[in-house]
Amino acid sequence: MDAVSFRGAKLQVNFRELFASPKSSRSIARDLRRGIDVRGTRMKYVSLIAALLLLASAALAGEKVQDKDTGVELTAPDGFKKPEQNLPFPEVVGEVKSLLLSEKFENDSGFLMLHRMPIPGGLSYEEFRTGLGDGIQERFGAAYKLHSLKDEEFSGRKAFVYDITLPGDGKLPTPDGTNKHRLIWAVFKDDDKHALGLVFQAREDQWSTMEPRFTATLKSLKIEKK
């Protein structure tokens, strides 16, 4: 019996038994005509398929994020883990509820962050939505690039979702940064004075690899209705 492990998942698989004397479909059909029991042969391949499926699910499974205060639940991209120290986010971000960094953060700057932020200046949520893009552009200048701004709905909760590029220092967006950071920022109304934000970040040159993983995480998002 051989032990097979993949990203923490361990299976006991008897590969000698699985692959011992494999029978062709013609051989199995001939045995059936002769009245020979072929269930054992079938079970070998069923066992192999089950083992491979379990390994695949282990490869795809990411860390669960559950925040009771905000009612948010999602599955992070595989390989994203809680850091030993938080990143130095600016005060405008508000309260960081959850932060996970890519295991290759030094190379791809990938992170997932859930935060609860105050809506500034006594603005309504709709005024905040309308003016946020202008505020970002004012802070980051010509380096700010808007790819898209969409209204979407997740678990019955409406959100506006920015897809933007900002300059950064390899860790966080910063106006004088020399790296290009790509972000998806989904913003939900929390109450009259606060918004919830879900941010996905990666370097622009890593985006083609990271974006499908972020999209899958967004699809896993569950958020309590208000």
pLDDT score at 26: 58
The reply to whether 17 and 122 lie within a common domain is no
The reply to whether 183 and 99 lie within a common domain is yes
Of 60, 79, 110, the position where a domain reaches its end is: 60
The reply to whether 157 and 104 lie within a common domain is yes
**pLDDT digit string (tens) for 19-48?**
344 445 555 456 545 554 545 545 454 454
Q: What tens-digit pLDDT sequence spans the chain (226 residues)?
A: 544 443 444 444 443 443 344 445 555 456 545 554 545 545 454 454 544 444 444 344 578 999 999 999 999 999 999 999 899 999 999 999 999 999 999 999 999 999 999 998 889 999 999 999 999 999 999 999 999 999 999 988 999 999 999 999 999 999 999 999 999 999 999 998 999 999 999 999 999 999 999 999 999 999 987 7
Of 32, 60, 88, the position where a domain reaches its end is: 60
* Vertex 213: Cα angle to 208 and 214 (nearest 5): 95
pLDDT score at 62: 79
CATH code for the domain of 149: 3.40.1000.10
- In angstroms, the Cα distances linking 208 to 8, 18, 25, 74, 146 are 27, 38, 42, 22, 17
pLDDT score at 121: 84
The reply to whether 141 and 128 lie within a common domain is yes
What is the Cα–Cα distance from 184 to 198, expressed in whole angstroms? 8
Q: Is 35 left (phi over 0), alpha (psi -120 to 50) or beta?
A: left
The domain in which residue 24 lies consists of 2-60
What is the Cα–Cα distance from 29 to 26, expressed in whole angstroms? 5
The reply to whether 79 and 50 lie within a common domain is no
The reply to whether 40 and 134 lie within a common domain is no
pLDDT score at 6: 37
The reply to whether 157 and 179 lie within a common domain is yes
Asked whether 120 and 139 are in contact (CB, 8 A), the reply is no
pLDDT score at 33: 58
What is the Cα–Cα distance from 112 to 202, expressed in whole angstroms? 9
How many structural domains comprise the chain? 2
The reply to whether 32 and 82 lie within a common domain is no
The reply to whether 127 and 80 lie within a common domain is yes
Of 12, 38, 60, the position where a domain reaches its end is: 60
The reply to whether 79 and 53 lie within a common domain is no
The reply to whether 38 and 72 lie within a common domain is no
Beta bridge partners of 99: 113
| Residue 15: closest CA among 5, 3, 23, 27 | 3
The reply to whether 17 and 71 lie within a common domain is no
